[in-house]
Amino acid sequence: MKRLLYSFLIACAASLTANAKSVVFTLTDGTLVYYLLDNDNPPIMKFIDGGVTVNADKYAFSGFKHFYISDTDDPNAIEGTEEQKTTLKGNILTLDAAKAKSVKVYDAAGAAVNAAVTKNAGALIVDLQSLATGTYIVKTSNSSFKVYKK
C-alpha cells in the first residue's frame, strides 16, 4: 500500500514538470480508464479501505493491474475510426454488434458513466437517456468516437 502511494506521488510530481494529459488505470479485465489531468478540474484520488477512489469511481486494489501518468494518452482522442453501422436517434445509439463486441461510455473528463447497453437482433443498443446533456466518448472493442447528447 505504501509503495503504491509513493509510486503515485512520484508519478504526480513528475507529471507537473511534463505535459501530462491523463492518469490511466489498466483494470484486470484489460479495460483502460482515463482521467484527464486538467488544471481547472483535476481528478481527486483517495486511497481508502483497500482501494482507490477517483472522483466518484471506486476501484479495489485487486480490480486494477497498474496505473500511470501519460503525456500521450488522451481520453478525448478518437481512435480506430473503422467504418461501422452507427446511428443516433434521439437518445438511442445503435451499433453493429458484429463489429462492436463491447461498449463503454465515458464523460468528457474520461470518467466512465452508466449507460444501459442491450443486445438486440445483431445490434448493440446504448440508451443515453439517463445522461446529462453533453459530449461523451463511446469506446467499443475496436474503435472510439464522440457523441453529443442533447
Domain residue spans of the chain: 2-70, 86-149
Give the dihedral sign, CA 3/60/41/20. Answer: positive
Evaluate if residue 40 carries a pLDDT over 50: yes
Q: Kind of pairing, strands 64-70 and 57-60?
A: unpaired
Which three cell numbers, joined as nine digits, stand for 67?
A: 496505473
SS3 24: strand
Highest-pLDDT range among 13-17, 60-64, 76-80, 95-99:
60-64
pLDDT by residue (tens digit) across 70-81?
776 655 554 544
Evaluate if residue 131 carries a pLDDT over 80: yes
Q: 86-149 architecture in CATH?
A: Sandwich (2.60)
Single-letter code of the amino acid located at 76: N
Mean pLDDT of 94-122: 83
The pTM of this model reads: 0.47
Q: Kind of pairing, strands 92-96 and 116-120?
A: unpaired
